[in-house]
Chains A and B, each alone.
Chain A
Amino acid sequence: MPLLEVRSLGKSIGSAEILTGINLSVERGEILGLIGPTGSGKTTLLRLVNLLDEPSTGSILFDGREVSGQPERELLAARRKMAMVFQKPVMFKARVEENVSFGLKMRGKEDAKSVRKRVKEALAAVGLSGYESRDANTLSGGEMQRIALARALVLQPELLLLDEPTANLDPRSAASIDSLLQSLAGGRTAVILATHNMQQCRKLANRVAVLQGGKLTAHGKSEEIFGPEEKSKASGPHTYGFSLPW
């Protein structure tokens, strides 16, 4: 049973159709690359999957249960098994530690010591050890992007939704994040990676879905979309000294 399944998903705003008839599924431990030009509907699809917006048509099944159109309590329960990193992440007006621990505190299941430990591990995973006390809003765009990733990773989500996660990063930082994401493959976390960076998608994704004009125009294994010899030559998860926090 796939972790996530979307069936005939559509989203309209007024008379404009943003997404039409999307059918997709994602398995645990899989990285699904979502590629397409700007305005093709990648962000809209991620927001629908994260249950931030309501679909106009179709349904979303998470772990076998239909979650779209359910009461807020059920949406929240499903949302708490996911995490999303936005294309332009924003920081709360607080220190890095409060930003990274935000989701954990919302769940309120862990004591302060355990939260601190997990924050530390998540920051180490994105290469920002020692940033706990920094004012999050004084960081560079690239650092904010990594904090946003740490903020998602610390939750140990079953489904990780990434919207251009390396768009603001320099090549070296982007490569380290790619390594980190690659290490998720085969684990319990499924990843949907929206990007218009073909190289990144080719390197990381097991399967690729191509969105154009709000429609799924191609969908298949990475080798089928890009060709077999082009598949990942990426380095392992520890190449840059980063490792997952779990």
Chain B
Amino acid sequence: MEEIYSGLLRALELIAARDPQVVEITFRSLFISLSSAFLAGIICIPLGGIIEFRQFWGKRALINLIQTLYSLPTVTVGLLVFLLISRSGPLGGLNLLFSPTGMIFGQAILISPIMIGLTVTALASVSPQIRDTARSLGATEMQLIITVIKEARVAVIAAVLLGFGRALSEVGVAMMIGGNIRGYTRVLTTAIALETSMGNLELSIALGIILISISLAINLLLNRFQGR
């Protein structure tokens, strides 16, 4: 108990002193997870729009599959992306393995099902009368999709924030694709895992506090957007 208590105190000291290692790992984590959320967002929101607005064979099954992939194990995605970008993989020539870009790519894949699925749900929740009104007032197909996305903006932003939160807190992709290289691909989650295994509890606790604080901030932001 005393060890935890002293570790906590030391961790707070590290945060208060803006320890360079803590700051660097935190900012790298934020950069990689924000980038993956942005990348996934620009692909998944329009894709969610297409799935919601187009009628095609197997649409329901596709949505079910996407929703099943919400809980995709991060190590499975890590393995998949590893196979894709490893030297002998189809994208091996891009030299993405053990790089922040590879981590962004992997995390974007990981959070895509959540973003697509929640975007579809968000758009489906917009009243059909809004669509009728927009069409009746002369909206083209594309203007209609944009109007509906605007109407569902709070829920769509929530989808992006949830995706960001999952990217920030995952460890499988970051470890397998990033390789936890100090000063290059080490992020909050992989650093916590490593420092704990090395018995460096105060640094682990400091990073843990930061991770929880960011998650809390995301949650507060979500609630604010959702008007709660």
Instruction: List the interface of chain A (C-beta within 8 A of B).
Output: 47, 50, 52, 72, 76, 79-80, 82-84, 86, 88-90, 92-93, 102-103, 106-107, 151-152, 155
Closest to B132 in A: A52
A90-B127, A92-B151 given; A106·B136 CB < 8 A: no
Tell me which residues across on chain A come within 8 A of B136, comparing CB atoms. Answer: 50, 52, 79, 82-84, 86
- Residues of chain B within 8 A of A106, CB atoms compared: 134, 137-140, 143
Q: Does B215 contact A (CB under 8 A)?
A: no
Q: Considering the complex of A and B, which 5 residue pairs feature the smallest CB-CB distances, nearest first? A: A103-B137, A80-B138, A90-B129, A84-B136, A106-B138
Contacts of A82 in B (CB 8 A): 136
| A107 touching B129, Cβ below 8 Å | no
A-B contacts, 6 listed (Cβ < 8 Å): A76-B140, A79-B136, A86-B133, A90-B133, A106-B143, A155-B138
**Further pairs besides A82-B136, A90-B133: 4, Cβ < 8 Å:** A79-B136, A92-B151, A93-B150, A155-B137
Taking CB atoms, residues of chain A closer than 8 Å to B143 are 106
Residues of A within 8 A of B151 (CB): 92-93
Q: Give the complex CA separation of A82 and B137 in angstroms.
A: 8
Q: In the complex the two chains form, what is the Cα distance from A90 to B128 in whole Å? A: 10
CA of A83 to CA of B143 in the docked complex: distance in angstroms? 17
Where chain B touches its partner, the secondary structure class is helix
Partner of B133, one of A72, A89, A107: A89
In the complex, which residues of chain A have a beta carbon less than 8 angstroms from the beta carbon of B141?
A: 72
Residues of B within 8 A of A50 (CB): 136
Tell whether B135 is near chain A: CB-to-CB under 8 Å. yes
Question: Could you tell me the distance between the alpha carbons of A52 and B132 in the complex, rounded to whole angstroms?
Answer: 7
The docked-state distance in angstroms from the alpha carbon of A106 to that of B150 is 14
Chain A contacts for B135, CB-based, 8 A: 52, 79
Separation of A80 and B134 alpha carbons in the complex (Å): 11
Q: Is B147 an interface residue (CB 8 A)?
A: yes
Task: Output the nearest chain B residue to A88 by Cβ-Cβ distance.
Answer: B129
B194 to chain A: which residues have CB within 8 Å? none
Inter-chain CA distance A132–B147, complex, in Å, is: 20
A106 to B133, CA, bound (A): 12
Instruction: Assess whether B62 is interfacial by the CB under 8 Å rule.
Output: no
**Known contacts A92-B147, A92-B151; is-contact A103 B129 (Cβ 8 Å):** no
User: Given A86-B129, A86-B132, A88-B129, are A151 and B137 neighbors across the interface (CB < 8 Å)?
Assistant: yes
Nearest residue, chain A, Cβ from B144: A106
- Measured CB to CB, the closest approach of chain A to B36, in angstroms, equals 29
Whole-angstrom distance between the alpha carbons of A89 and B133 in the complex? 8
Interface status of B130 (Cβ within 8 A of chain A): yes
Residue-wise interface mask of B (1-37) relative to A, using a CB-CB cutoff of 8 A (1 in contact, 0 not):
0000000000000000000000000000000000000
In the complex the two chains form, is A103's CB within 8 Å of B138's CB?
yes
Residues in A whose Cβ lies below 8 Å from that of B150: 92-93
Assess the A92–B138 pair: CB atoms within 8 A: no
Interchain nearest-CB distance for B158 vs A (Å): 15
Task: Provide the residues of chain B in CB contact with A72, threshold 8 Å.
Answer: 141
Contact of A102 among B127, B129, B132, B137 (CB under 8 A): B137
B140 touches A92 (CB 8 A): no
Contact call A83/B132, Cβ cutoff below 8 A:
no
